[in-house]
Amino acid sequence: MKIRIGIIGGAGYGGGEAIRLLLNHPQAELVFVHSRSHAGSPLHAAHPDLLGETSLLFTDVIQQQVDVLFLCLGHGESKKFLEENKINPSIRIIDLSQDFRLGESVPGREFVYGLPEMNRDRIKQASNIANPGCFATAIELGLLPLAKAGLLQEVYTTGITGSTGAGQKLQDTTHFTWRANNISAYKTLTHQHLKEINRSLKQLQPAFNSAINFVPWRGDFTRGIFVSSCVTVDKPLDEVKKLYADYYHGHPFTLVSQDTVDLKQIVNTNKCVIGLEKEGDKLVVHSAIDNLLKGASGQAVQNMNLMFGLPEASGLKLKSIVF
Amino acid sequence: MKIRIGIIGGAGYGGGEAIRLLLNHPQAELVFVHSRSHAGSPLHAAHPDLLGETSLLFTDVIQQQVDVLFLCLGHGESKKFLEENKINPSIRIIDLSQDFRLGESVPGREFVYGLPEMNRDRIKQASNIANPGCFATAIELGLLPLAKAGLLQEVYTTGITGSTGAGQKLQDTTHFTWRANNISAYKTLTHQHLKEINRSLKQLQPAFNSAINFVPWRGDFTRGIFVSSCVTVDKPLDEVKKLYADYYHGHPFTLVSQDTVDLKQIVNTNKCVIGLEKEGDKLVVHSAIDNLLKGASGQAVQNMNLMFGLPEASGLKLKSIVF
Amino acid sequence: MKIRIGIIGGAGYGGGEAIRLLLNHPQAELVFVHSRSHAGSPLHAAHPDLLGETSLLFTDVIQQQVDVLFLCLGHGESKKFLEENKINPSIRIIDLSQDFRLGESVPGREFVYGLPEMNRDRIKQASNIANPGCFATAIELGLLPLAKAGLLQEVYTTGITGSTGAGQKLQDTTHFTWRANNISAYKTLTHQHLKEINRSLKQLQPAFNSAINFVPWRGDFTRGIFVSSCVTVDKPLDEVKKLYADYYHGHPFTLVSQDTVDLKQIVNTNKCVIGLEKEGDKLVVHSAIDNLLKGASGQAVQNMNLMFGLPEASGLKLKSIVF
Amino acid sequence: MKIRIGIIGGAGYGGGEAIRLLLNHPQAELVFVHSRSHAGSPLHAAHPDLLGETSLLFTDVIQQQVDVLFLCLGHGESKKFLEENKINPSIRIIDLSQDFRLGESVPGREFVYGLPEMNRDRIKQASNIANPGCFATAIELGLLPLAKAGLLQEVYTTGITGSTGAGQKLQDTTHFTWRANNISAYKTLTHQHLKEINRSLKQLQPAFNSAINFVPWRGDFTRGIFVSSCVTVDKPLDEVKKLYADYYHGHPFTLVSQDTVDLKQIVNTNKCVIGLEKEGDKLVVHSAIDNLLKGASGQAVQNMNLMFGLPEASGLKLKSIVF
């Protein structure tokens, strides 16, 4: 029997990526895709690559005969959606916005932060998931083993993101002419994901009270996040590597590489790849994810798999783009 | 029961892409990957994105307990390989080089040109497949319905290809510094695929005796081929569209779009998407494929599926990169 | 004494590029830059690369104490501007729009088509210039010598353009996420530059009455146009090359290469580079320009130089980007 | 009277860029360009964009009738060149390698570190210049005002560089197929420029004894360096901005922006643009240069201008690529 799924906000990047994954997922049945702006159009009107993949049309009707809803809405919109629409309490929710990542709730629905590498057991029991942010996922996966070991100190992080992180809306900073071959910083030291990052790190190392000094950059590519975090650690690299290997043992998507890592190893997959280097007492952790997959819709499907007792990687064995 | 597969020449682009597909193919078992240069190394030594996907090592031993061999060798190397190595006659061959596309053979092995949209029934009966070239696939799929209808006249084609078409070897024209943001023409009117293109078109329209004037361009991207072919056709666009729709009916990967087409609709998939436009008596056919998939390893797997009686699209439901 | 210049429409791409050239031009004085949307702001507010280059502010006042006005307005806007504003008749006009390229005029002002390689003597005498279109420049420079020799027949042309050709306005097809690594066709066989191209070719070969079958593509780069035109020519390549060499002798910016040509040879310069190849009776002419320079503002400055008796290349010795 | 110049190692990126600048420099005469590999060929054989710019040929003869030699050789090669070739002592040397940046010398030749924003007066008196490294230039220009004020503490820096930084030689990491859309780290915390950076910072703040923790990234573009440095500073942003404004007052190429900065503001120019942001006690300094210009050949010409008493910006008013 298949899990019956509805998507709310199916015309954007996150919704489109969820559709792509769920159409090919062996235990999933995509029942409806909701979009006010595109109701009545075929899915390939918004997502031309879906031509020939499905005959589904976007709808503006929210059906209640589903097992789970993916909310692929803008920040602030998910909370509003749940407040304004009566959703059958038995329907589970996976929310891709930031509305419930810091412990927020709506009546009748408490949310678990959906980072399987930290909360897998709780996710398996959860009815509602707050899916982590893209930069948050990359940075947290790079630091969790240190926090677990109580070793985390002040962190200096630079991260670069593809343009899909900025969404579908046309903006000056997503104009091709401006962004091609360009690099720029934004939200220096003030990125909104810092809150959920701090919350996660404190979950594992409650005494952690230092800063994550995070400088985000806009990259001149479409998909992916690459992060380098520098932190003082008073242990030899071998021991650090063992910490990471132990921590991620049994987690199918987060891999600690013994070689150099690069972004395209993981683009178009649900993986996070981690590289570790050390000079003196400074550890540098590189971590890379696809912001739309492990950083959004892929992780959402991973959470769905866990919630419904499916193999964690079901529907997520994706061919990387690699080149 | 699974099809047992060996890959010869597994360290290059074509071999790597075949590995990626076959590792996830539900009816395939990748038995061995042969590479003289990488024997003994894990597959992810040559293909870093395969980290965590498989524990297979490259080998320099050719095992005979397989059902089919994929030859992912350079042009000229496949013929040599079959002449120098005794391959069990019951093992089928899918050759990705150009060595057998024009009717060439080796003792005991005749080859069928593996373009399913033209030769599906013969492929189902074949023991040996000559997998088409990448530009050839894109151009032929754009013109076959006209040839079938006997309407083909002199053709003017421009096509642009990603850098993976030039292979893994470092060359001046694949140096990032040179190729980024650059466009150039090469092999103007003399591309080696013209022979197999002409051969295919004559198979459907034996009287066709005009030129395919083909100007190939190097593109500043890694994956994909986009082709526009201009030809005089004395029929209204509606009728031409019907010809194409009829021709490709029942072919799962070749789609005639009613909208504008663009390359990224199909990158990282096995699809070919075709767009048709007409002004006066001039028809322009746009066709787009991923050169490594429908133009190489994806089509090879499609051929394998047909040869072994599997669903044609098995293992080829791929998530597009789209962005 | 310096030529005093005003720019109308200085906040767009064409205006910005004109500013960049004129600020460094040894015989030019940029007197004012008009922009309704940016009046009062420093030029670097619209063009951040001009930080430190000038203290000029955008103005909404049209000063009449200038020798020449560059109209860098949208198509249709130039005619309107000249009709609605009383411009001192002694002020010369260089118009970058398409409003006057086909012989249109406003009372008191006749326009010369500003392609120096065709009309240099007339430009030297002109008071008003209609600056050619970008694709038109690339295609015409590739074909003029054939037309001059009366050899031109039906032409099949494919051209690819950078995103700056689509202007500053945000559009779906200039969204970075869509355009990166993408190729698409547009205005197939119907591009608006075909009119001025035909007009120019007939100026040199009045009996020319065949089609220019032109398929424009959007490229995944920002600057430059690369065109390949295929035409039947019944002369050996040597003779054709001599025709081109003779035609462009003494023209400083249009170069016939003996080697292969590529786009980045000329990006960020005012050059056009031409390559010639022949197989059988088919000639292929490759031509490349920077759409914002030789295809717009650079050619405008070249025309200004000619109109005012300056060396043709004054202010146009530009360092190419090359990489 | 013009400065007579010879270039040693003219076929590489640094040499090519020096040629481009010097051909257009109003007070420079490029007398000869030395290259063993290309002797006898025209300059455009190695640098196709120079077609039509000059009729100079590469030579393998070192002429002594020049005022200055630009050494554009690989690291280690400059010292060897000066030891093996007898250069007239009156000829000045500008060396672009790292051979003399840390106080090294050859008999009869002491070198001044050629960062005009730090050493302008000494450069004006110098006979031999060690031209700074590209990353070194970007990082130092971002930090010098703090060091001058004695405020510098431990620094955390991430920098990204275009592929031209890796030179002309074909390498796995400059293969287009690998590098396009990719990001990776290299020489983490161990980049060779750290030595000259530390040396410069100590020149201004002798007591500085903390680490510059520098993580270099390879970017998927060809030209430019963008750096963000994070450092604890116990002063309000206004005062920091004043420090920077005062420090760079009168330096024509280093600009402190009041707005956000991005890489393409300065690509294809000799500028460095600096942006300053502060949260709590953490200052982030962004700095951007073109690695081949302010990071190499442009700075070399700037140094030449200073050595020969020319205006500092002579020949360096370059049109930016901007798009």
- Measured between beta carbons, the chain B residues lying within 8 angstroms of D164 are 177
A54 contact B CB<8A: no
Check residue D180 and give its pLDDT. Answer: 98
Q: Are strands D212-218 and D184-185 parallel, antiparallel or unpaired?
A: antiparallel
Question: Distance between CA B140 and CA B152 in Å, rounded?
Answer: 12
Portion of chain C with pLDDT greater than 70, in percent = 100
C207 contact A CB<8A: no
Check residue D250 and give its pLDDT. Answer: 97
Report the chain C residue with the minimal C-alpha distance to residue A219.
C176
Question: Distance between CA D284 and CA D161 in Å, rounded?
Answer: 19
Show the DSSP H helices in chain B as ranges. 13-23, 43-46, 77-84, 116-125, 134-148, 176-179, 194-204, 237-248, 297-307
Instruction: Point out the residue among B222, B255, B269 whose CB comes nearest to the CB of A323.
Output: B222
Question: Distance between CA D34 and CA D28 in Å, rounded?
Answer: 17
- In this structure, what are the phi and psi dihedrals at residue A165, rounded to the nearest 5 degrees? -60, -25
Check residue A1 and give its pLDDT. Answer: 84
B211 contact C CB<8A: yes
A-interface mutation test, from B13, B19, B51, most A Cβ less than 10 A away: B51
Burial class (CB in 10 A: 0-12, 13-18, 19+), B24: middle
C54 contact A CB<8A: no
Q: How far is B230 from chain D (nearest CA, A)?
A: 30
Q: Are strands B68-71 and B3-8 parallel, antiparallel or unpaired?
A: parallel
Question: Distance between CA B19 and CA B30 in Å, rounded?
Answer: 8
Question: Distance between CA D172 and CA D166 in Å, rounded?
Answer: 11
E strand residue ranges, chain B: 3-8, 28-34, 58-59, 68-71, 92-95, 112-113, 128-130, 155-161, 184-185, 212-218, 225-232, 254-256, 272-279, 282-289
D-interface mutation test, from C286, C319, C320, most D Cβ less than 10 A away: C319
Give catalytic residue positions of A.
Answer: 134
Instruction: Point out the residue among C24, C223, C321 whose CB comes nearest to the CB of D317.
Output: C24
Question: Distance between CA B287 and CA B159 in Å, rounded?
Answer: 9
E strand residue ranges, chain C: 3-8, 28-34, 58-59, 68-71, 92-95, 112-113, 128-130, 155-161, 184-185, 212-218, 225-232, 254-256, 272-279, 282-289
Which domains occur in chain D, in start order?
Answer: 3-130+296-307 (3.40.50.720), 134-289 (3.30.360.10)
User: Do the Cβ atoms of B222 and D181 come within 8 Å?
Assistant: yes
State ipTM: 0.97
Q: Which of B72, B134, B230, B272 is catalytic?
A: B134
Three-state DSSP class for residue A3 = strand
CB C219 within 8 A of CB C159: no
B157 contact D CB<8A: no
A168 contact C CB<8A: yes
Three-state DSSP class for residue C265 = helix
Question: Distance between CA B199 and CA A210 in Å, rounded?
Answer: 70
- Kindly state the DSSP code that residue C262 receives in the 8-state scheme: B
Strand order in the sheet with B282-289: B184-185, B212-218, B155-161, B225-232, B282-289, B272-279, B254-256
Which residues are A306's β-sheet partners? none
A189 contact D CB<8A: yes
Question: Distance between CA A232 and CA A278 in Å, rounded?
Answer: 9
pLDDT of B70-106, one tens digit each? 999 999 999 999 999 999 999 999 999 999 999 999 9
D90 contact A CB<8A: no
Instruction: Point out the residue among C49, C162, C266 whose CB comes nearest to the CB of D320.
Output: C49
Question: Distance between CA C28 and CA C70 in Å, rounded?
Answer: 13
A-interface mutation test, from C13, C161, C176, C322, most A Cβ less than 10 A away: C176
CB atoms within 10 A of CB A250: 9
- Measured between beta carbons, the chain D residues lying within 8 angstroms of C163 are 323
The residue among B215, B203, B202, B217 whose CA lies nearest residue B165 is: B217
- In this structure, what are the phi and psi dihedrals at residue A133, rounded to the nearest 5 degrees? -70, 165
User: Do the Cβ atoms of C180 and A180 come within 8 Å?
Assistant: yes
Question: Distance between CA D73 and CA D15 in Å, rounded?
Answer: 8
User: Do the Cβ atoms of D164 and B177 come within 8 Å?
Assistant: yes
Report the chain C residue with the minimal C-alpha distance to residue D14.
C323
- Measured between beta carbons, the chain A residues lying within 8 angstroms of C181 are 222
Question: Distance between CA C158 and CA D226 in Å, rounded?
Answer: 37
Query: What residue ranges of chain B have pLDDT lower than 50?
Result: none
Check residue C1 and give its pLDDT. Answer: 83
How many residues are recorded in chain B? 323
pLDDT of C25-83, one tens digit each? 999 999 999 999 999 999 999 999 999 999 999 999 999 999 999 999 999 999 999 99
Q: Are strands A212-218 and A225-232 parallel, antiparallel or unpaired?
A: unpaired
User: Do the Cβ atoms of A221 and D183 come within 8 Å?
Assistant: yes
Helix H or strand E encompassing C200: helix C194-204
| C-alpha dist (Å) from residue A105 to A86, A193, C164 | 15, 18, 47
Which residues are B294's β-sheet partners? none
DSSP assignment string, A273-323: EEEEEEETTEEEEEEEE-TTIIIIIHHHHHHHHHHTT--TTTT--PPP---
B308 contact C CB<8A: no
Which residues are B273's β-sheet partners? B255, B288
* pTM over cut 0.90: yes
A261 contact D CB<8A: yes
Sequence-distant (6+) residues with CB within 8 A of B38 are: B10, B11, B45, B46, B58
Portion of chain C with pLDDT greater than 90, in percent = 100
Q: Is the pLDDT of residue D230 over 90?
A: yes
Query: What residue ranges of chain A have pLDDT lower than 70?
Result: none
Instruction: Point out the residue among C174, C220, C221 whose CB comes nearest to the CB of A175.
Output: C174
Chains in contact with B, counting 3 or more C-beta pairs less than 8 Å apart as contact: A, C, D
CA A153 to the chain's CA centroid: 25
User: Do the Cβ atoms of C177 and A163 come within 8 Å?
Assistant: yes
Sequence-distant (6+) residues with CB within 8 A of D100 are: D78, D79, D111, D128, D130
| C-alpha dist (Å) from residue C24 to C91, C100, C218, C316, D319 | 22, 28, 31, 9, 8
Check residue A186 and give its pLDDT. Answer: 98
| A105: amino acid identity, one letter | S
- A116-125 and A134-148 helices cross at what angle (nearest 10)? 100
Q: How far is C182 from chain B (nearest CA, A)?
A: 5
Tokens representing residue A259 in the block = 């070689």
Q: Is the pLDDT of residue D1 over 90?
A: no
- The half-sphere exposure of A280 on its side-chain side, counting CA atoms within 13 A, is 11
Instruction: Point out the residue among A184, A220, A279 whose CB comes nearest to the CB of D260.
Output: A184
Question: Distance between CA D149 and CA C4 in Å, rounded?
Answer: 45
A268 contact C CB<8A: no
Helix (H), strand (E) counts: chain C: 9, 14
Three-state DSSP class for residue B288 = strand
A217 contact D CB<8A: yes
CA B22 to the chain's CA centroid: 16
Which residues are D3's β-sheet partners? D28
Burial class (CB in 10 A: 0-12, 13-18, 19+), D103: exposed
- Measured between beta carbons, the chain D residues lying within 8 angstroms of C289 are none
Q: Residue by residue, what is the 3-state secondary structure of A139-199?
A: HHHHHHHHHHCCCCCCEEEEEEECHHHHCCCCCHHHEHHHHCCCCEECCCCCCCCHHHHHH
* pLDDT, average across residues D172-193: 98
Tokens representing residue C116 in the block = 């120096």
| C-alpha dist (Å) from residue A116 to A3, A19, A170, A302 | 20, 21, 33, 8
A-interface mutation test, from C177, C182, C264, most A Cβ less than 10 A away: C177
Report the chain A residue with the minimal C-alpha distance to residue C46.
A172
Chains in contact with C, counting 3 or more C-beta pairs less than 8 Å apart as contact: A, B, D
The residue among A319, C228, A42 whose CA lies nearest residue B290 is: A319
Q: How far is D165 from chain B (nearest CA, A)?
A: 10
Q: Position of tokens 């709310």?
A: A8
D177 contact B CB<8A: yes
- Measured between beta carbons, the chain C residues lying within 8 angstroms of D271 are 52
Sequence-distant (6+) residues with CB within 8 A of C82 are: C71, C93, C106, C109
